Amino acid sequence: MAAPQRLFDIRRVIGGLFLVYGLILTVTGLLDSAQEIQKAEGIRINLWTGVAMLVVGGAFLLWERLRPSDGPAASDEEE
């Protein structure tokens, strides 16, 4: 049970998704044209959001690594 259970830990799923999104947005942000930057009031919003999502995604993965869930191991006691 232990291996698939860790794979499905919600922190891994969110962390992984945010890393991928962060990567996409960071690259897009680096390539953004002046017009896109101007739409966002001069803020390189794709870049900043991308970096923030990388950090959040990393934090979720780190959290999962440091405090693995003891999860539903006890689920055989009822239901």
- 5: tokens are 């259970």
CB of 61 to another protein, least distance (A): 14
- 3: tokens are 């291996």
The string of DSSP letters for 25-40 reads: HHHHHHH--HHHHHHT
Compute the distance between CA of residue 52 and CA of residue 61 in angstroms, rounded to an integer: 14
Residue type, 50: G
Considering only 13, 62, 65, 68, the residue that binds another protein (CB under 8 A) is 13
CB of 58 to another protein, least distance (A): 14
Residues in touch with another protein (CB under 8 A) = 4-5, 7-8, 10, 13-14, 16-18, 20-21, 24-25, 28-29, 32, 36-37, 39-43, 45-46, 48-50, 52-53, 56, 69-75, 77-79
